[in-house]
Amino acid sequence: DTAVSQTPKYLVTQMGNDKSIKCEQNLGHDTMYWYKQDSKKFLKIMFSYNNKELIINETVPNRFSPKSPDKAHLNLHINSLELGDSAVYFCASSPEWGSEAFFGQGTRLTVV
Amino acid sequence: DAKTTQPPSMDCAEGRAANLPCNHSTISGNEYVYWYRQIHSQGPQYIIHGLKNNETNEMASLIITEDRKSSTLILPHATLRDTAVYYCIVSSGAGSYQLTFGKGTKLSVIP
């Protein structure tokens, strides 16, 4: 069983569209994260979410919004997609904030 | 911004020990040292973490200096599958921006 799963694995879309990436973890963890890895391979945290408390990296545009229907899911919704949003997005979870994290396989988003 | 510095790349012969250094001279007393690796096109994988004492698990050993300003990740018998980018991270687990990854070390295991 996959511990942290993301869908879709690949996403190609046009500028201006709205898209969502889904993430589910079956580890029973309390904290989930979204990371962005750009073309230079830098991996930067976007959001961390713990018991309905959201911490946002202030550099993330407000076009990006995480949505958590329950503790096992943290979806990423992106409005008005831009070319610069093209990247690989990773979801992760950990037993508690800042402890060892388990990552999904990533979603490669390409905006054309 | 990452609080650690690592060499950009290293080579290691297959079957030999790979020793990956990391400097974290500004680490504070409540911060742990974490190591992750990212194999090409996959998500990062947790390896090991420690606070003060040396740690060992089935994947690797972590040696932390007494002043905690640097650490070394040791892969005792490197295989070709260990070729990856290795990230050293400090984290306090306090709910601030956690697990900020730096550039890491690209380890190439050579047959």
Q: Which residue has 């990391």 as its token pair?
A: B22
Q: What is the 3-state secondary structure (H, E, C) of A21-56?
A: EEEEECCCCCEEEEEEECCCCCEEEEEEEECCEEEE
Q: Quote the CA–CA distance of B96 and A31 in Å, as a whole number.
A: 12
* Distance, CA of B105 to CA of B82 (rounded, Å): 12
CB hemisphere CA count around A83 (13 angstroms): 1
- Measured CA to CA, the distance from residue B95 to residue B103 in angstroms comes to 22
Question: For residues A23-51, b (16+ Cβ closer than 10 Å) or e, as one string?
Answer: bbbeeebebbbbbbbeeeebbbbbbbbbe
pLDDT in tens, A41-75: 788 889 888 877 887 777 889 999 999 988 899 99
Collapsed DSSP state (helix, strand, coil) of residue B60:
coil
Can you tell me the distance from the alpha carbon of A32 to that of A85, in angstroms, rounded to the nearest whole number?
Answer: 21
Q: Give the model's pLDDT for residue B96.
A: 46
Q: How far apart are CA A39 and CA A18, in angstroms?
A: 21
Question: What tokens were used for A69?
Answer: 């229907």
Residue B96 contacts A where some CB pair is shorter than 8 Å: yes
> A96 contacts in B (CB within 8 Å)?
93
- Least Cα distance to B49 among B41, B38, B60 occurs for B60
Interface contacts A/B by beta carbons within 8 Å: 65
Tallying the residues shown for chain A, one arrives at 112
**Looking at residues A5-25, what average pLDDT do you find?**
97
A84 contacts A98 by C-beta, under 8 angstroms: no
pLDDT recorded at residue B98: 58
Residue B93 is predicted with a pLDDT of: 61
pLDDT of residue A1: 62
How far is the C-alpha of A30 from the C-alpha of A52, rounded, in Å? Answer: 10
What is the residue type of A58?
A: E
Nearest to A99 among B38, B93, B97 (CB): B93
Q: What is residue B99's predicted lDDT score, i.e. its pLDDT?
A: 62
Q: Which residues of A touch B85 (CB under 8 A)?
A: 41
Q: Region A73-80: what's the mean pLDDT?
A: 96
Summarised one tens digit per residue, pLDDT across range A84-110 is 999 999 999 988 776 788 999 999 999
User: Maximum CA pair distance of chain B?
Assistant: 42
User: Any chain A CB within 8 A of the CB of B51?
Assistant: no
Q: Report residue B90 as tokens.
A: 């400090």
Q: Which two tokens stand for residue B42?
A: 């996959």
pLDDT one digit per residue (tens) for chain B, 111 residues:
458 999 999 999 999 999 999 999 989 888 889 999 999 889 999 999 999 989 999 999 999 999 999 999 999 999 999 999 999 988 876 544 456 788 899 999 999
Inter-chain residue contact B101 with A42, CB threshold 8 Å: yes
Cβ-Cβ contacts under 8 Å, A39 against chain B: none
Q: Using the beta-carbon criterion (under 8 Å), do B100 and A106 form an inter-chain contact?
A: no
The pLDDT value recorded for residue A95 is 87
- Tokens matching residue B58: 């089935």
The strand pair at A10-13 and A107-111 is best described as: parallel
Give the best residue of A27, A40, A43 to mutate against chain B (max B CB count within 10 A): A43
What is the length of chain B?
Answer: 111
